[in-house]
Structure 1
């Protein structure tokens, strides 16, 4: 996600009053009382809540498109519909259709039944789940985890990003129409509200945003021992294989970099290209960008930087690289002067000759800028990636051969996608999440249900004697003898496994 502190306040955009921080505790207490009073909801009620959540979106599509257009300045209707609305439909349908199945208890041990013990694991709701959303996809990235939380039987509180304040206010006002506030509540506001939200004694806190703010969220949640899921970001690497189709790879990478104006946590950030093919790759990138955007300033499909702060931050990264010797190429259409501060638009920009002291080498860009690096050996690429924080996704363009498998097995990332942007997110039941600095925990599909559930073990027996009675004193000779025999058998079994692999160890003790 964006490396800025996304909980910084912005100017009032005529979007209504923000939530009073003192009111957050009241909302939480009412939801928790309702949860405890009514108990775990039925599968039918869980599906009904998911359906109402989707209805809140689908019944107000035009309003959401308009709100996001106002928030971004320029964001096309098609781009919003595709990225925000269409992307959630299959996730909702998959979740609601599997809710009853996921709720069923699972028998934990068939062997224990031979001893008269019945053990099962019951997925139980946590209680009240808090969700803090980002600004880059301000709707989808709060309602999709909310649907998972509903499927698991929880109540939900959402803190919307104030950077996309029109979308936040619209969601807050609509929530009261489709839900009782003890089921689902949306709060709005700036830094003060966001900080207060993270300090609530919730039963789970789900955050999507920057790594820097994620640290603050986890620190605040730790005061109440609230478990967290952190969906963060990072600099996502791309490797173009030596035998890749350069034209094909460049075309797809160019399109991937420009999704939502480059303001996507899974966008490619830097590309490794075989040294002897890098000029051809750059030529292909340049041609593709020019074909995609014959005009930018008056092009409604070209998403602007969300606000002045992000616009200036991206430009500062580019200028710092330029000052330190990088080659910068802005691919602006003929006759257009870019970047343009009024429109907050930056032309697709290529950066080469990057060195480690440049800020752009380590900071997530979150804009229409792509770094291009040469390589001669895959081992060098692997070393470079592994010496840096694990990214949210790693990309590979080329055939599924031994070098690709080596790359996958030798690096860490939240996911891996080959030959296509974000394809690792396409399966409804595949987990999505980061690792290390790119996140903690995952969601989507069954993984999302499990994230917002407590797997509760329930065991029982009707035997007329106590199975564990031998564990309590006084200890008789039979207990002592049993322990001696069991230990001797375990030692002999293990010794056979390690003999010959531990020099100097006797064959038996």
Structure 2
């Protein structure tokens, strides 16, 4: 891996920043890699998961990335342009601009839940910014990783894009390489380790992490529609999505109707689970056991647990690694389910009387990747947005914050550092370099060098006095308000 990094860095320095045509060509080859082999990738992911619907893979994993990449490709030329500063001073001989410059070699560490999408999207952004890319695929989805490593050399010189496979030890060594930027998608626990490894080399990081995403069913919401959409969203990819709704606050007076609608929705979706090719398995036994353990821990500590299993089926089923859609109520802070990201087909239901209770509960916990609200665009909704913190907010639909191709995507606090998608991705992998040239007949900053004439002392004192007066005048106006 160190040799690959050295080769990429030497090529980057030797060739210089790529022009817009080459950047777009790399993005096009990246898209071709995916689209030419979409069926093969869908097959590989189905094998990795045990059961993963082909339609879901093609829709969420592959089609879901195209609009973002196309948006990036179409705006590269615009984003590459330097920004001129102090334009009037240019006529006097002082020219200043900020140039977006590529960083060099970007390392990308991908997760297992969307093992293709979540390495291709950051790679496209890194290419748009003019960088070379090394990708470490997740070891959990080995067949997908192997296919990506096999196909990449057909589309890219390894000095442009290299794909690394291997276990967690390989991942740790990858994170410790002296990249120019390191991008990681995964859990907060592993993200902290990646950040520590990168810090040893002062490598800047983008960390796309997870968390427990709250959902608020507003007091004026359509309960049936909200419950149906939340139930559907929880089951995407078997609940193994970083933006899945995790726990739901429902007005106490509507709790029974909400639960009944979720239950009916799941029953209508899944007449069978075990033999259902549309029902996604837990990716491996470790995640299967973890999710089952979270539910059993809650049950043992007094939570009400309801599994919506089809008639005649015993779930969870270890052979298929399938867990029934599950509702959990009466969860308290002594249960693991209260704090750990579920990442499975489990939905926690909480009730509230006043929205202030909801805000206090959400704010007392680490900021989530997304907060959901179901109901009209009301004063209550605007207050919730203003008074809570999250990576994004979506109202009335699952993952609506990801629909605009230009919208930044990322977390805050424990749910992530930095963002990408659209220009945010270009910015994440660029250095904004200030370039100033002076053809003035006199020096500006040279006046700070001794000796200091009386005129310089006087003008400095006058300028400071004027700034002092302006500041206190503004403060005085504010106090009078």
TM-score (norm. length: structure 1): 0.93
Cα distance between partner residues in 2 of 1:109 and 1:151: 28
- Given candidates 23, 30, 36, the residue that maps to 2:13 is 36
Deviation per CA, 1:204-260: give whole Å up to 9, x if none.
000000000000000000000000000000000000011111100000000100010
Cα distance between partner residues in 1 of 2:169 and 2:441: 60
Q: Residue in 2 aligned with 1:268?
A: 245
1:407 shift after superposition: 0.2
Deviation per CA, 1:121-178: give whole Å up to 9, x if none.
1100000000000000000000000000000000000000000000000000101111
Q: How many residues align?
A: 480
- Given candidates 419, 441, 450, the residue that maps to 1:464 is 441
- Residue 247 of structure 1 pairs with residue 247 of structure 2: no
- Given candidates 80, 84, 109, the residue that maps to 1:132 is 109
Deviation per CA, 1:359-405: give whole Å up to 9, x if none.
00000000000000000000000000000000000000000000000
SS at match of 1:499: helix
- Residue 282 of structure 1 pairs with residue 255 of structure 2: no
Q: Residue in 1 aligned with 2:277?
A: 300
- Residue 398 of structure 1 pairs with residue 375 of structure 2: yes
Q: Residue in 2 aligned with 1:216?
A: 193
TM-score (norm. length: structure 2): 0.98
Structure 2: 5+ residue runs without aligned partners?
A: none
Cα distance between partner residues in 1 of 2:80 and 2:475: 43
- Given candidates 319, 338, 347, the residue that maps to 1:342 is 319
1:471 shift after superposition: 1.3
Q: Residue in 1 aligned with 2:466?
A: 489
- Residue 174 of structure 1 pairs with residue 151 of structure 2: yes
1:464 shift after superposition: 2.0
- Given candidates 358, 364, 377, the residue that maps to 2:354 is 377
Root mean square deviation of aligned Cα: 1.1
Deviation per CA, 1:174-216: give whole Å up to 9, x if none.
0111100000000000011101001100000000000000000
384-393 or 486-495, which moves further after superposition? 486-495
- Given candidates 120, 130, 143, the residue that maps to 1:143 is 120
SS at match of 1:466: coil
Deviation per CA, 1:64-85: give whole Å up to 9, x if none.
0110010000001101000111
Going from structure 1 to structure 2, the CA distance change for 1:142 and 1:100 (only over 3 Å counts) comes to same
1:463 shift after superposition: 1.4
Cα distance between partner residues in 2 of 1:491 and 1:34: 52
Cα distance between partner residues in 1 of 2:468 and 2:281: 67
Map 1:24-423 → 2, pairs under 5 A: 24-110=1-87, 112-113=89-90, 116-423=93-400
1:460 shift after superposition: 0.6
Structure 1: 5+ residue runs without aligned partners?
A: 1-23, 504-509
Deviation per CA, 1:31-51: give whole Å up to 9, x if none.
000000000001000000001
